[in-house]
Amino acid sequence: MNVATQNTRTVPDHGVNAPKLPIYLDYQATTPCDPRVVEAMLPFFTEHFGNPHSRNHKYGWDAEAAVEKARAQVASIIKADEKEIIFTSGATESNNLAIKGVAHFYKDRKNHVITTVTEHKCVLDSCRHLELEGFEVTYLPVQQNGLIDLEVLRNAITPKTAIVSIMAVNNEIGVIQPLAEIGKLCREKGVFFHTDAAQAVGKIPLDVDAMNIDLLSISGHKIYGPKGIGALYVRRKPRVRLEALIHGGGQERGFRSGTLPTPLCVGLGEACAIAEREMDAEAARLRKLSERLYNGITARLPEVFLNGDAEHRIPGNLNLSFAHVEGEGLMMGIKDLCVSSGSACTSASLEPSYVLRALGVEIEMAHTSLRLGIGRFTTEEEVDYAIEHLVQAVQRLREMSPLWEMAQQGIDIKSIQWAEH
Amino acid sequence: MTQRGIYMDWNATAPLRPTALAAMSAALQEVGNASSVHAFGRRARAWVDHAREAVADLVGARAALVTFVSGGTEANNLALNSRGSRPLVVSAIEHESVLKPARLAGAQIARVGRSGEIDVAHLAYLLDKVSKPAFVSVMLANNETGVVQPVAEIARIARAKGALVHCDASQAAGRIPVSIEALGVDYLALSAHKLGGPQGAGALVLADDLPVEPLVQGGGQERNRRGGTENVAAIAGFGAAARDISALGEVERVAALRNLLEEKLTQFGLPLTVFGRNASRLPNTSCFASGTKTAETLVMALDLAGIAISAGSACSSGKVRPSHVISAMGFDAATAGSAVRVSLGWQNEPADIDSFIAAWGRVQRAGPARSDAAETRISAA
Amino acid sequence: MYSEKVVDHYENPRNVGGFGKEEAGVGTGLVGAPACGDVMKLQIKVGADGRIEDARFKTFGCGSAIASSSLATEWVKGKTLDEAETIKNTEIAQFLSLPPVKIHCSVLAEDAIKAAIADYRAKSGASDKAAE
C-alpha cells in the first residue's frame, strides 16, 4: 500500500458549510500540527540542516541558534529560565527521566515516590519499574471528581520521600489538579514536585515559580507541535539533580544525550509561542464550543453523565458516559466522528479505563464512556454535526439495548445475577 | 540566514533527502495518534508500518523486530540496557553513546590497531577473561575514520562463546550494504539523520525475538519496547530515506570524489597521514592529518571560506580535545590534534574538492599568529 | 477493522426487538454481564411443528456482539430446537470474520441461543406437565 497517496484533509476548514468528514474530536490523543508551526520547521529540514552540536561551522551555528531560540520560547510559556529546559523525544521520555532520574540520583538518602492512580501510563510504568528496583511508591487515590485530596497527600509525605509526581491535567477526563497548593505543600516538606503537564501547557496558565514546580514535562504533539519532541523543565534554584536515562555525547547538559532534532525543537518552540499568545482567546472559544456540545447532547438525551469535576477542567475535554450503550459499539455508529473510548494508549485493549474506575465510576458505566476532545481547529458546524450524529446513534443503540429496556421497565440491573465471563 | 556553502560534514548529519522531506511534509499535514483506533489513528499507524518495512528491508530484518526510537544514541543505550546481567565488552573507538554507558557499567574495552580496526584477538581474550557469557557492542563503521570493522568475524567468535552482539551501524547504513544476518549480530542500531532521514528518529533492530529492557516506559508502544507516541513524521522520513538508499547507486560516485580528494592532498607535498587508509573504509569518509596547523585552526579557517568540515566527532559539545579514536589507534597527541574529517555525500561535486584544496592551501601557507587567534575563539565558545 | 458482514449486521440489524416473555412458545436467553461490556437478550418463538418460527434480540455491546446476535436470530429461524442447538460459535465467528479479540462475542451468541432454548424447554415442560 502506498500511504503517500492517501490524501484526506485532516485539518478542517473554518468554512460555513457542512463540515468535512470525518471530524476529528480526539484532541487529547494528539493534535494536528499548526500550519504556522510546519512553516517554521520547514527551512530547518532543508537549507538549515546542520547538526546543532557541530561547533565548527556555520551550518552547526545556525542550527544551534534556532534550537536556543526555541528553548527560550518553551521556557517562556511556563515562566522558566531557558537554562532550565531540556529537550527530549516527548512527554513520555520527560516523565521517565524526571521520575526515574530523581529517584536514582537521591537513592542513597530517599527511597519513596508519591504519585496518583490516575496518572498517564508512562508515569505509572516508571513507578512500577522503581518498585521492582526496591523503591516504595504511594499511589494516591483521587476523589469522585478526579482531584486529589491535599490532606491525603500531606499524610503520605515522609522524610524518605524524594519526589511527588502529580499530573497537571488528566488526559482522559480533563480535570486540573490544584498545582499551586501541591507545590506549596511539597516545598514546605522539602520534597521535589514533578508535574506531567503534557495536557496542560497552552491550555491553562503555568508558572513554575508561583506554583513551586521543580520538574515539568511538556509534549510537542499535544500542543499543535510535531510528534517526537518534548521537554523537561528542571529547576536550577534550588537545584534538582537527575541521573540521565540516555548517555552519550553529553548534550543537554549531560541530562539527555543524542543529536537534537533541530526542526522538531523549532516546531515545539513555535507551538509554545503561538499557544502563549493565543491561549486566552482560544480557551474562551473552546469553552463556548464545549458548552454547546454538552448542552446539545444532554438536552436531547437523558442519562448522560459527565466524568470528572465540572469546574476544574480544561475546556477542550468532555468525558461522557452514555448509560446503557457500550462505548465501542457507539464508536462504530459514529464513524464520521473520531473520538476515543478510554485513553488512546489502551483503547485497543478493550478494558474499561482505569482512570474512570479510580473515580469510582462503576465498571458497567465505564464501558459506556467516550472522550470528546475539541481544539484549535474545531468549528461550530463540526460540533453541531457531532451532536446530531451522537444523539441519533445513542438513540438507535438504546433501542437495541436490553439494559435500556430493563431500565425503562424499572428493573434494577444490579438485582440480576449476571454470569460474568 | 545561510549562504549556500560547501557541506563536507555528512557524518555529523546528512542533508534530508527530497523523498524523505516529501514523506514528512505529507505526514506532518496528518493528525492522528498511531495508537488511536479511529480512521485518523489508523492512517498514522499505516505511515509507521510502511516505514518499518523499509527500515527492515534496509538491513534484511523482519519488520516486527524493528523498534523506532528517538535516534542512534537512544538505540545504542537501549541495546546496552537490554544486556541483563551479562558483562559488557566494547571497543575503544565506539561512539560516546556506547562508550559512556559502557564506562558506567564497568565494561571491558578492546584495543584498536593502528589500522583503525578493532583488535579481534584482544577482544576474544577479553571474552575469555569475563566469567560469564558477555554482551559485546561494536560499531560497523567508525564515525571519524570511516574504517569498517570486522564485525562478522567478531560476532562469530563472540557467539561461539555464548555472547550476544550489538552493532552500532549508524554511520554504515546507507553507505555500505548492511545485513543483520550476514553480520551475524543480535542487535543493530540505526540513525535516520545519518542516512538522509530527519533528526529525531532511529531504530533498534533485532535479529530474533530477543529481550529488550525499555529505557522509556509507558503506553506499550513499539511492542512494549519503547513507550511514547510514535514520531510519525520523522519515522515516515526515515522510511523514505531508507527506501531511497536501496534504490540509488550513488556510492561509487562519492567514493571517486573521496579518492580524488586524497590524491590531491598527496600531490600537495606536505607530510600526510590518512587514518585507516589500509583498512576497508566507508566510501565517503576521509580523516587525515597534514601540516602543522591544529584541527581547530583548519576547521575555523575553512568555515570562513564557506566549507564545513569537522574535527573529531560532532557530539563533544564544545569541548576541544584530541579525538579518542585517533588516540586509541596509537597516534601521538600532536597528530591526533591536527586530524580533520571530510565526509561527503550525494550532493557534493568535483568542484567542491577543488574549492577545498584551494582553501586548504591558503590556510597551510598562512602564518601561525592567525591560528592562535582562532584557537582562542574556539576555547572561549 | 470490522469485516463487511459485521458492518452490515451492525448497520442493518435483523430481528431487533422482543416478544412478551410469558407469551406461549417463547423462550428467552439473557447472557453476558454489563460489567464485561456485553449483554445479549435472545428470544425464540417456537411454532406448533416444533420449529423456531421467529426470533428477536437486543444487545448491549460492541459491533461484533451486535452482529453475532443479529446473525444468530437469522440462523435459528426455521430450525428445530435440536438443529438450532448445534450452531457453534466457531461458525458464527468464521461467517463474520471476527478477529481473535472478538471471538468471545460469538461465544456469547451461542450461549444466548442455548439459553433461549433451555428457557423454552423449561417453560413448555412445565406447561406440558400442567396439561397432563
pLDDT of residue B4: 64
pLDDT of residue A5: 38
Mean pLDDT (whole number) for A22-33: 95
Percentage of the residues of chain B whose pLDDT score is greater than 90? 71
Mutate to test the interface with B, among A36, A46, A55, A96 (most CBs of B within 10 A): A55
Say if A416 falls within a structural domain.
no
- Identify whether residues A49 and A193 lie together within a single domain: yes
Query: Which ranges of chain C have pLDDT less than 50?
Result: 131-132
The full set of domains in chain B, from first to last, is 6-14+250-380 (3.90.1150.10), 18-247 (3.40.640.10)
Mean pLDDT, all residues of chain B: 89
Question: Which of A3, A90, A219 lies nearest to residue B50, judging by beta carbons?
Answer: A3
Q: What is the pLDDT of residues A63-103, one digit of tens each?
A: 999 999 999 999 999 999 999 999 999 999 999 999 999 99
pLDDT of residue B366: 77
Query: How many domains are contained in chain A?
Result: 2
Say if A41 falls within a structural domain.
yes
Q: What is the 3-state secondary structure (H, E, C) of chain B?
A: CCCCCEECECCCCCCCCHHHHHHHHHHHCCCCCCCCCCHHHHHHHHHHHHHHHHHHHHHCCCHHHEEEECCHHHHHHHHHHCCCCCCEEEECCCCHHHHHHHHHCCCEEECECCCCCECHHHHHHHHHHCCCCCEEEEECECCCCCEECCHHHHHHHHHHCCCEEEEECCCCECCECCCHHHHCCCEEEEECCCCCCCCCCEEEEECCCCCCCCCCCCCCCHHHCCCCCCCHHHHHHHHHHHHHHHHCCCHHHHHHHHHHHHHHHHHCCCCEEECCCCCCECCCEEEEEECCCCHHHHHHHHHHCCEECECCCCCCCCCCCCCHHHHHCCCCHHHHHCCEEEECCCCCCHHHHHHHHHHHHHHHHCCHHHHHHHHHHHHHC
Say if A420 falls within a structural domain.
no
Position A24 confidence tier, pLDDT thresholds 50, 70, 90: very high
Say if A414 falls within a structural domain.
no
- Identify whether residues A257 and A353 lie together within a single domain: no
Given a cut of 60, whether residue B134 has pLDDT beyond it is: yes
Between CA A140 and CA A135 the distance in angstroms is 16
- Identify whether residues A317 and A258 lie together within a single domain: no
- Identify whether residues A28 and A43 lie together within a single domain: no
Instruction: Give the CATH number of the domain where residue A367 resides.
Output: 3.90.1150.10
CB contact under 8 A, A89 and B228: yes
Given a cut of 60, whether residue A8 has pLDDT beyond it is: no
Catalytic, C62? Answer: no
Q: What is the pLDDT of residues C56-77, one digit of tens each?
A: 999 999 999 999 999 999 999 9
Of A250, A274, A298, which residue sits at a domain end?
A: A274
CB contact under 8 A, C39 and A403: yes
CB contact under 8 A, A250 and B201: no
pLDDT of residue C101: 82
Between CA A298 and CA A391 the distance in angstroms is 9
Say if A346 falls within a structural domain.
yes
Q: Chains with ≥3 Cβ pairs under 8 A against A?
A: B, C
- Identify whether residues A100 and A198 lie together within a single domain: yes
Question: Which of A350, A401, A418 lies nearest to residue C33, judging by beta carbons?
Answer: A418
A113 and A165 Cβ atoms separated by less than 8 Å: yes
Of A257, A274, A291, which residue sits at a domain end?
A: A274
**Chain A residues with CB inside 8 Å of B72's CB?**
258-259
Size of interface A-C (CB pairs under 8 A): 78
Q: What is the pLDDT of residues B165-209, one digit of tens each?
A: 999 999 999 999 999 999 999 999 999 999 999 999 999 999 999
Residues 6+ apart with CB under 8 A from B150: B117, B118, B120
- Identify whether residues A314 and A178 lie together within a single domain: no
A273 and A73 Cβ atoms separated by less than 8 Å: yes
CB contact under 8 A, A400 and C37: no
Give ipTM to 2 decimals: 0.91
Mean pLDDT (whole number) for A266-271: 98
Say if A2 falls within a structural domain.
no
pLDDT of residue A14: 42
- Identify whether residues A47 and A190 lie together within a single domain: yes
Strands (E) located in C6-97? 26-33, 38-46, 52-60
- Identify whether residues A96 and A25 lie together within a single domain: no
**Chain A residues with CB inside 8 Å of B38's CB?**
22, 26, 331, 335, 338-340
- Identify whether residues A305 and A356 lie together within a single domain: yes
Q: What is the pLDDT of residues B260-303, one digit of tens each?
A: 999 999 998 888 999 999 999 999 999 999 877 888 888 889 99
Mean pLDDT (whole number) for B89-109: 95
CB contact under 8 A, B70 and A89: yes
- Identify whether residues A332 and A366 lie together within a single domain: yes
Write down the CATH number for the domain with range C4-123. Answer: 3.90.1010.10
Between CA B381 and CA B375 the distance in angstroms is 10
Question: Which of A50, A88, A91 lies nearest to residue B13, judging by beta carbons?
Answer: A50
CB contact under 8 A, A53 and B317: yes
Q: What is the pLDDT of residues A332-350, one digit of tens each?
A: 999 899 998 753 334 444 5
Given a cut of 80, whether residue A359 has pLDDT beyond it is: yes
- Identify whether residues A84 and A120 lie together within a single domain: yes
Question: Which of A324, A363, A421 lies nearest to residue C32, judging by beta carbons?
Answer: A421
Q: Which of C28, C29, C109, C27 is nearest to C67 (CA)?
A: C109
Say if A6 falls within a structural domain.
no
Position A421 confidence tier, pLDDT thresholds 50, 70, 90: low
Range of the domain at A319: 19-33+279-408
Q: What is the pLDDT of residues A213-247, one digit of tens each?
A: 999 999 999 999 999 999 999 999 999 999 999 99
Catalytic residues of A, by residue number, are 345
Residue with cell 568555515: B303
Q: B365 versus A172: which is more confidently predicted?
A: A172
Distances in Å between the alpha carbon of B153 and those of B59, B108, B167?
18, 19, 12
Given a cut of 90, whether residue A148 has pLDDT beyond it is: yes
- Identify whether residues A316 and A398 lie together within a single domain: yes
